[in-house]
Amino acid sequence: MNILSLCYWRMCYSNCSLLCVKNPEYKNKTLLNQTLQGSVNNILKYKNLQTSASGSPRNTIGINVKRYYHENLPQIVIRRAWSSTPQIFYRKPNDFGNAASRPQTRLGYKPKSLEDFDLLYKMTKDKFISKKLPKDVNPCGVFANNELDLEEVDVYGFDYDYTLACYKPNLHDLLYNLGRDRLIKRFKYPENISQLEYIPGFAVRGLHYDIEKGLLLKLDSFLQIQLGSVYRGLTKIPDVEVLKLYKNRILPIAYVEGQSKNYQPNAKAKMVQLADLFSVPEMCLLCNVAEYFEKNHIDYNPEILFHDIKASVQSCHPVMHEIVMKDVGEYIERNSMLPAYFQKLVNAGKKLFLVTNSPFAFVNRGMTLLAGEKWREYFDVIIVKARKPKFFTDESRPIRLYDEKTNSNVWDRVSRLDKGKIYYEVKW
């Protein structure tokens, strides 16, 4: 008999009597034990698990009672006769039925403001940090819900950007500044925008941006808007206004998804997601410029602003590549364990491949820093400029062979992928 089953019985059979320790007749410990034993018997009748008076048979629960106080509410601990470990805490009946009579959270009241939720988060975090792990548990271990035998995995695939190559924070500043300058020079945006600086930590990967409404927001896995996380520019939007704009907290999947089931563009989709870390400085620039327009009462179209900034930042990637290649150590974190990891996989008979959207020269410079001059020997297949995610969905675009000496493609048909060669995908 465990906590879950007792709680289940309590919810299903509300007519089962529970103890109220404030009742004067329970001051007698013997009477209290007997009454509690009877209450458990009433519960167990519904599961055909009767306890006996002796407390010794297989399905018998021996009861010891102690009084506990938590947030000024009396509780009783039920213990098994063969174990000193508490199994469940019982409170008086009113504490179960009346929501107002028990504390809603660790705060002692229902949180209403963001400050309340921040405090609740900190209290919960501190509680779990204070818990001590058993001595035989590795605090650096990784635990998964599903069991996976890596011996059965024969092929390991890697991306380059933010997978093998972990960039330092100054890369975001670089990409932001390049995009901002391009926005002014190419699209003739106001010169005062040059004073808008990158804000580290403002946007994170996984957020959504509503192109039509010009809002940055957070959605959960059920496409439900997380109130308190909606911004226009750098200004938080009140919950009332958010509900007025969207009519409902849960958004239709057609409004959010950028592609339909057959991977074709969905005309009704009005949202994009920050799917990679390169999009973080882009979104920060977008919110900075929108905030500038709002504060200076400049009329603008959110969709046009989005596409202008997206074009500006993405067109700066070749420039960013050139700057990083001149001093890769300034922008890429070194990882001395990477070559040993690759070698371990190779020695185990695994096949390795690398598929990245970045050009070969850029990848080669970074991988040389990370894994040495002979980094290509670890990989069975290397594909650059893959244009993911379309690389995985488009069927009509062929793969071409890259010639390092001439820095161009080879016209031969590619019918197989060989080790030691560099491939890239055709851009129509």
- pLDDT of the residue at 356: 95
What mean pLDDT is predicted for residues 157-164?
96
Q: Which two tokens stand for residue 131?
A: 């818990």
What mean pLDDT is predicted for residues 187-210?
95
Q: Has residue 424 got a pLDDT over 70?
A: yes
In a domain, 127, yes or no: no
Q: Are residues 192 and 304 in the same domain?
A: yes
Q: Are residues 309 and 406 in the same domain?
A: no
- pLDDT of the residue at 97: 42
Q: Which domain holds residue 406?
A: 151-165+332-425
Q: Are residues 363 and 308 in the same domain?
A: no
In a domain, 295, yes or no: yes
Q: Which two tokens stand for residue 185?
A: 């020079």
Q: pLDDT-derived band of residue 18, with 50, 70 and 90 as boundaries?
A: very low
Q: Are residues 252 and 174 in the same domain?
A: yes
Q: Are residues 174 and 310 in the same domain?
A: yes
Count of domains forming the chain: 3
Q: Are residues 280 and 376 in the same domain?
A: no
| One-letter amino acid of 195 | Q
Share of the chain above pLDDT 90, in %: 49
360 and 402 in contact (C-beta within 8 Å)?
A: yes
- pLDDT of the residue at 415: 87
In a domain, 200, yes or no: yes
Q: Domain holding 337: CATH number?
A: 3.40.50.1000
User: Higher-confidence residue: 155 or 19?
Assistant: 155
State yes or no: is 412 an active-site residue: no
Residue 92 phi/psi, 5-degree rounding, is -65, 155
Alpha-carbon Rg for the chain, nearest whole angstrom, is 31
Cis peptide before 93 (omega within 30 of 0): no
Residue 290 phi/psi, 5-degree rounding, is -60, -40
CA 217 to chain centre: 15
User: Higher-confidence residue: 175 or 257?
Assistant: 175
Q: Has residue 136 got a pLDDT over 50?
A: yes
Look-up of token digits 């062929």:
398
Separation in Å, CA 169 to CA 189, 313, 314, 331, 400: 26, 17, 18, 8, 34
Q: How far apart are CA 333 and CA 170, in angstroms?
A: 11
Please identify, among 249, 281, 315, the residue that sits at the C-terminal boundary of a domain. Answer: 315
In a domain, 33, yes or no: yes
255 and 245 in contact (C-beta within 8 Å)?
A: no
Q: Has residue 28 got a pLDDT over 60?
A: no
Catalytic residue among 95, 159, 181, 276: 159
Separation in Å, CA 341 to CA 345, 346, 350, 367: 6, 9, 12, 14
Q: Has residue 157 got a pLDDT over 60?
A: yes
Q: Are residues 180 and 239 in the same domain?
A: yes
Q: Are residues 257 and 341 in the same domain?
A: no
pLDDT in tens, 37-57: 454 444 444 334 333 344 443
State yes or no: is 181 an active-site residue: no
Please provide the average confidence, as pLDDT, over all residues in the chain: 77
Q: Has residue 198 got a pLDDT over 50?
A: yes
Please identify, among 65, 81, 101, the residue that sits at the C-terminal boundary of a domain. Answer: 101
- pLDDT of the residue at 27: 42
Q: How does strand 351-355 pair with strand 381-384?
A: parallel
Q: How does strand 231-232 pair with strand 235-236?
A: antiparallel
pLDDT in tens, 278-304: 999 999 999 999 999 999 999 999 999
Please identify, among 268, 283, 315, the residue that sits at the C-terminal boundary of a domain. Answer: 315
- pLDDT of the residue at 267: 57
- pLDDT of the residue at 233: 97
| One-letter amino acid of 396 | S
User: Higher-confidence residue: 85 or 171?
Assistant: 171
Q: Are residues 206 and 193 in the same domain?
A: yes
- Measured from the Cβ of residue 292, the count of other Cβ atoms closer than 10 Å reads 19
What mean pLDDT is predicted for residues 307-316?
95
- pLDDT of the residue at 50: 38
- pLDDT of the residue at 268: 59
pTM above 0.75, yes or no: no
Q: Are residues 345 and 304 in the same domain?
A: no
Residue 208 phi/psi, 5-degree rounding, is -115, 150
User: Higher-confidence residue: 403 or 106?
Assistant: 403
Separation in Å, CA 195 to CA 180, 370, 412: 10, 36, 50
Q: Are residues 176 and 262 in the same domain?
A: yes
In a domain, 393, yes or no: yes
Q: How does strand 67-70 pair with strand 231-232?
A: unpaired
Q: Are residues 379 and 263 in the same domain?
A: no
In a domain, 325, yes or no: no
In a domain, 68, yes or no: yes
Q: How far apart are CA 384 and CA 189, in angstroms?
A: 34
Beta carbons within 8 Å of 225's beta carbon, 6+ residues apart: 217, 218, 219, 242, 246, 249, 250, 251
In a domain, 141, yes or no: no
